[in-house]
Amino acid sequence: MRLSSSSNEEVTRYSPQTSDNDKRVVVAPATTQTKIKLSIQNVNAWFGKKHAVKGVSLEVKENSVTAFIGPSGCGKTTLLRCINRMHEMTPNAKAEGRVILDGVDVYDKSSDPAMVKRRIGMVFQKPNPFPTMSIHDNVAAGLKLNGIRDKKLINEVVEQSLKGAALWDEVRNDLHMPGMGLSGGQQQRLCLARALAMQPEILLMDEPTSALDPIASSKIEDLVQQLKEHLTIIIVTHNMQQAARVSEQTAFMYLGELIEYNPTRDIFKNPQKELTEKYISGRFG
Amino acid sequence: MSSSNNPSSRKEKSSGERPSKAGNNFRQTFQEISIKHASRRRITNKIVSIIAIVFVIGAIIPLASILFEVIKNGVAVLSVQFLTQPPGAIGSDAGGIGPAIQGTLITVGLASLIGAPIGVLSGVYLSEFATTSSVKGPKQRAISFFANTIRLFNDVLTGLPSIVIGIVGYVAIVLALNSFSVWAGAFALSIIMIPIVSRVSEETLKLVPNSLREAGYSLGISKTKITLFIVLKNAKDGVLTGVILAISRIAGETAPLIMTILGTSLFFTSLTGPVDALPLRIWRLASQPYESAHGFGWGAALVLILIILALSASIRLIARGKGIRVRTETI
Amino acid sequence: MPRLLDLGLDRIRNIVTDMAKLSEGSVFSALEAYESNNIAKKHIFELSEKLRTLQDEVTDLAVELIARYQPVATDLRFIKSCMEIAYGYSRFGRYSYDIVDVLETLTPLTDCDKNAVSEMAMTVRKMILLSVNALESRDKMAAQDLYQMDDTVDTLYRKYLRELVSNLTKDSSGKPRCYISNLLILRYLERIADHACYVGDSVYYIITGASSPRR
């Protein structure tokens, strides 16, 4: 599934020819459109006095998957949370810099933090469905609590989002059951569906598989490949092989600084910085 | 010639060397010690469990004997007449405690209507809003100072003798309205209730995992809605427990009621007039020298206990019926 | 602290180093056999077989390391290059065997003109030494030098080829076994030179992550 459906340039640059020889052309992946969706400019973030992200700048292409990797405490999750202004919800946290989404700074005085979060969805490290809500309500929560009342529309979006998260077939008959009754992997896909229901343009995933078993993880990874057709994904991961598998661009961070930001294939075949090489080949320390 | 086998043989050698002689000796002594410890641990385990059970029984005995005594002495007087009639002439065994039951329900109900929302909302404020991070610098310091002050007052209020609160009700309302009144009683009781509800609500809300709030924020939901529909809903059971705890506590209060609703042998007339209450009635009956009055007193005590029991049970049932049946342990 | 992967990489490195010595020895003995007419076919055959087994061992180990440790960056490039280098060395062994095979089949060659082969063998010997040293000393410039030497080898090869053909037409009653043996051995030497270049390429790839600029 991963190989055939993805447009991961490196792996499927040449499409297998089935019948028509005249069509023997190099497949142009979706990523050839080089529109910059998100531009992070000189972002700094603090927890109290701790300088967690130090002047990071990078650009993210539309419909691409970008991975943030680095050792624990390197600031990758903090940087991710700066993108949708989630960082500032933490007590004593502070962020500075510009995060330009489609030409508009999300930190601009005129932009509404809640609106930013609706455009930039997020999936967290631990599956966190709302415990008091059913599967249906979990997915519908974002719509309902943001003022959408049309039941038919809500049902439609719930179905579509669950399908998008590849959960529909498993839960279609149990939509009224509590979300917490699902397995860990299903819960995480439920959270994914919940985020998708808001029709986000960017999806931030904060170590989305670290609490899951390998099979559930690989399902999430497959989903990432499908979802990027419609949105731009940024994923923080501890698992370097996962970054290698799912992303097109990889950013390596260390002690709050962006050390290297390059196409994933270059990072894992021929990193430009010695620090990157040491980290990805497990020679750290 | 072939040095290619070297690495593997080197590996074996190094792995063979690792568990050193000293390590083996230590392992043996460690195992011997832990075997000795294991038998001692089993004995200690047993002793501690027995002690725990003894203390639990010790705690239950007075409770059970009170209940037993109340039921034994109270059941006899229970009758429709007892539950509905106003008290008869002093010393006679006619009449009942109707006005006291009615008065307790009205006063406690009114006190809960005042106290529970204020208590819950103050708990919500302390847990959800007083620690907000969006404001920084002096303003945040002012907020946290304010929150700590409220917490301190809550603690002081919880420890305040209830007679003092009764006097406050007397001075503030009884003297102002120039009459003992239900309002004054409800006011005094709600003051006792608020710190309990506030404290329990705050603690319960703080137990709601932050990941749920973050999930809400990540969907662009406003803080008010997250607090109401996600956080509070999730902490519903705990908050309700706090409210029931407070109601049970105020339903049994006597001292503040003497100073505020006074007590009467008549049925309820108006919110601005005096009314009877079960604790007051129990106290009055108990202080009479007649055997029949004492029997009525036991009966009234039994009714009070039953009311509180029924209240907790019904509120819990309602709460459970409305929400999702499965109460998940893993939040 | 060494990583688990490092133990495997050391092992691969050791095998490839052994193969370098063996293949160098086999080519040198084959050339010596040709020059001294002392055919040591069995010895060279054993070397060639040994090289082939070692090459299999390198491939197996490489696949195992990839499967178990998912190496990346320099580690991955090193493993990939080791597979290629091991193949190159096993080819050295094979061509040495081919050379002695020719000697044995077309013997005696004592009265042949061996200057052409000797001249090319000199360069090829240098190339083998250079390629073996390049791996040991991680010399990324070796590829450059190897390709320059390969150019001379190619030029020599074409030159002798033309000369042999013209000699044959001029002197049809000559010694065909000399012509044929020279031609075949020159051809094997030219192939060995090519593989020496590939070894240089692989070394260059380990160090820079790019394919050699000559290719």
pLDDT in tens, C19-73: 999 998 998 888 888 888 777 788 889 999 999 999 999 999 999 999 999 999 8
Answer whether residue C215 is part of any domain.
no
CA distance, residue B207 to nearest chain C CA (Å) = 42
pLDDT digits (tens, 9 = 90+) for C120-156: 888 999 999 998 888 888 888 888 888 889 998 999 8
Assess contact for B248 and B316: CB atoms under 8 A: no
Helix or strand run (H / E) with residue B81: helix B80-84
Assess contact for C114 and C34: CB atoms under 8 A: yes
What tokens were used for B221? 């939901």
Contact residues on chain A for B222, CB-CB shorter than 8 A? 114, 145
**Yes or no, beta carbons of C210 and A271 under 8 Å apart:** no
Confidence band (pLDDT; 50, 70, 90) for A284? confident
Residue A279, SS3 per DSSP:
helix
Assess contact for B183 and A77: CB atoms under 8 A: no
* Segments making up each domain of chain A, as ranges: 2-12+35-280
**Yes or no, beta carbons of A146 and B220 under 8 Å apart:** yes
Beta-strand pair A93-101/A36-47: antiparallel
C57 touches chain B (CB under 8 A): yes
Averaged pLDDT for residues A240-245? 92
Residue A66 confidence (pLDDT) above 90: yes
C4, C15, C17, C22, best to mutate vs chain B, most B CBs in 10 Å: C15
What residues in chain B have per-residue pLDDT under 50? 1-17, 135, 323-331
Q: According to the model, what pLDDT value does residue A139 have?
A: 94
Q: According to the model, what pLDDT value does residue C214 have?
A: 62
**Yes or no, beta carbons of B221 and A146 under 8 Å apart:** yes
CA distance, residue C14 to nearest chain B CA (Å) = 5
What tokens were used for C197? 């270049």
- A257's CB contacts (< 8 A; 6+ apart) are A54, A55, A56, A75
Contact residues on chain A for C80, CB-CB shorter than 8 A? none
Where does A14-99 have alpha helices with state H?
A: 76-83
Separation in Å, CA A236 to CA A79, A240, B149, B253, B261: 10, 10, 41, 57, 64
**Yes or no, beta carbons of A269 and C77 under 8 Å apart:** yes
C17 touches chain B (CB under 8 A): yes
Assess contact for B110 and B182: CB atoms under 8 A: yes
Confidence band (pLDDT; 50, 70, 90) for A285? low
d(CA A109, CA C115): 86
Q: According to the model, what pLDDT value does residue B178 have?
A: 85
Biggest distance spanned by C-alpha atoms of chain C:
71
pLDDT digits (tens, 9 = 90+) for C95-120: 999 988 888 888 777 777 778 888 88
Confidence band (pLDDT; 50, 70, 90) for A32? low
Nearest CA to B155 among B106, B97, B111, B198? Answer: B198
DSSP one-letter string for C88-130: HHHHHHHHHHHHHHHHHHH---TTS--HHHHHHHHHHHHHHHH
**Yes or no, beta carbons of B324 and A195 under 8 Å apart:** no
What tokens were used for B300? 């009234």
**Yes or no, beta carbons of A180 and B211 under 8 Å apart:** no
A142 → closest Cβ in B209, B221, B323: B221
**Yes or no, beta carbons of B220 and A118 under 8 Å apart:** yes
The residue range of the domain holding C31 is 4-208
CA distance, residue B218 to nearest chain C CA (Å) = 35
**Yes or no, beta carbons of B8 and C54 under 8 Å apart:** no
Q: According to the model, what pLDDT value does residue C4 have?
A: 86
**Yes or no, beta carbons of C71 and A277 under 8 Å apart:** no
Amino acid letter, residue C162: R
Question: Is A2-12+35-280 a domain of CATH 1.10.340.30?
Answer: no
pLDDT digits (tens, 9 = 90+) for B66-85: 999 999 988 888 888 888 88
C161 touches chain A (CB under 8 A): no
**Yes or no, beta carbons of C18 and B11 under 8 Å apart:** no
B205, B219, B221, best to mutate vs chain A, most A CBs in 10 Å: B219
Residue A5 confidence (pLDDT) above 70: no
Contact residues on chain A for C75, CB-CB shorter than 8 A? 281
Answer whether residue C139 is part of any domain.
yes
Chain B residue set in contact with C, beta carbons under 8 Å: 1-4, 6-8, 11
Query: Residue A258 carries which DSSP code?
Result: E
CA distance, residue A275 to nearest chain C CA (Å) = 12
pLDDT digits (tens, 9 = 90+) for A97-133: 999 999 899 999 888 989 999 999 999 999 999 998 9
Assess contact for A192 and A230: CB atoms under 8 A: no
Give the distance, in angstroms, between the CA of residue A63 and the centroid of all CA atoms in the same chain.
11
Beta-strand pair A232-236/A249-254: unpaired
The model's pTM is: 0.79
In this complex, the chains that touch B, judged by 3 or more CB pairs closer than 8 A, are A, C
**Yes or no, beta carbons of C73 and A271 under 8 Å apart:** yes
Q: According to the model, what pLDDT value does residue A89 have?
A: 85
**Yes or no, beta carbons of C209 and A268 under 8 Å apart:** no
d(CA A214, CA A220): 10
Helix or strand run (H / E) with residue A253: strand A249-254
Beta-strand pair A93-101/A65-69: unpaired
C210 touches chain A (CB under 8 A): yes
Residue C15 confidence (pLDDT) above 80: yes
A48 touches chain B (CB under 8 A): no
Assess contact for C88 and C19: CB atoms under 8 A: no
**Yes or no, beta carbons of A282 and C3 under 8 Å apart:** yes
Name the CATH architecture for the domain at B80-322. Answer: Orthogonal Bundle (1.10)
What residues pair up with A98 in beta bridges, in sequence order? A41
**Yes or no, beta carbons of C11 and B7 under 8 Å apart:** yes
Q: According to the model, what pLDDT value does residue A33 have?
A: 56
C67 touches chain A (CB under 8 A): no
Give C140 or A234, the one with higher predicted confidence.
Answer: A234
Q: According to the model, what pLDDT value does residue C173 have?
A: 60
Peptide bond into C108 cis (omega under 30): yes
Which segment of A75-89, C18-32, C165-179 scores lowest on mean pLDDT? C165-179
Closest residue in A to B233 (Cα–Cα): A132
B133 → closest Cβ in A92, A180, A191: A92
Residue A12 confidence (pLDDT) above 50: no
A181 touches chain B (CB under 8 A): yes
d(CA A178, CA A131): 7
Answer whether residue C213 is part of any domain.
no
- C164's CB contacts (< 8 A; 6+ apart) are C179, C182, C183
d(CA A114, CA A200): 12
Closest residue in A to B215 (Cα–Cα): A128
Report the CATH number at residue C145.
Answer: 1.20.58.220
The end-to-end CA distance of chain A, in Å, is 38
**Yes or no, beta carbons of A269 and C5 under 8 Å apart:** no
Assess contact for B299 and B74: CB atoms under 8 A: yes
Nearest CA to B273 among B285, B284, B260, B258? Answer: B260
The end-to-end CA distance of chain B, in Å, is 65
CA distance, residue B140 to nearest chain A CA (Å) = 10
pLDDT digits (tens, 9 = 90+) for B125-146: 999 888 655 545 677 778 888 8
Q: According to the model, what pLDDT value does residue A197 have?
A: 94
Separation in Å, CA B247 to CA B22, B114, B257: 66, 12, 15
Nearest CA to B239 among B146, B323, B133? Answer: B323
What residues pair up with A235 in beta bridges, in sequence order? A67, A205
Q: Phi/psi of residue B108, each to 5°?
A: -65, -40
Nearest-5° Cα angle at C203, C201 to C204? 60
- A198's CB contacts (< 8 A; 6+ apart) are A118, A121, A142, A143, A146, B219, B220
C71 touches chain A (CB under 8 A): yes
Q: According to the model, what pLDDT value does residue B23 have?
A: 65
C68, C69, C70, C72, best to mutate vs chain A, most A CBs in 10 Å: C72
Residue A19 confidence (pLDDT) above 50: no
- Could you count the other beta carbons within 10 Å of the beta carbon of residue B240? 21
C15 touches chain B (CB under 8 A): yes
Contact residues on chain C for A284, CB-CB shorter than 8 A? none
* Helices then strands, each counted (H, E), chain A: 11, 10
* Helices then strands, each counted (H, E), chain C: 6, 0
d(CA C172, CA B22): 85
What is the number of CB-based contacts under 8 A between chain A and chain C?
32
Query: Residue B76 carries which DSSP code?
Result: G
Assess contact for B291 and B238: CB atoms under 8 A: no
**Yes or no, beta carbons of C11 and B8 under 8 Å apart:** yes
Contact residues on chain C for A244, CB-CB shorter than 8 A? 72
Assess contact for B83 and B304: CB atoms under 8 A: no
Residue A157 confidence (pLDDT) above 80: yes
Q: According to the model, what pLDDT value does residue A65 have?
A: 95
What ipTM does the predicted assembly reach? 0.84
Give percent above pLDDT 90 in chain A: 66
Separation in Å, CA B63 to CA A204, B67, B214, B306: 56, 6, 44, 15
**Yes or no, beta carbons of B323 and A132 under 8 Å apart:** yes
Answer whether residue C108 is part of any domain.
yes
Amino acid letter, residue A216: A
**Yes or no, beta carbons of B3 and C57 under 8 Å apart:** no
Contact residues on chain A for B219, CB-CB shorter than 8 A? 117-118, 121, 141-142, 145-146, 194-195, 198
Contact residues on chain A for B324, CB-CB shorter than 8 A? 132-134, 178
Answer whether residue C214 is part of any domain.
no
**Yes or no, beta carbons of C54 and B4 under 8 Å apart:** yes
Count of structural domains within chain C: 1
Contact residues on chain B for C7, CB-CB shorter than 8 A? 7, 11
**Yes or no, beta carbons of C73 and A280 under 8 Å apart:** yes
* Helices then strands, each counted (H, E), chain B: 15, 0
Closest residue in B to A197 (Cα–Cα): B219
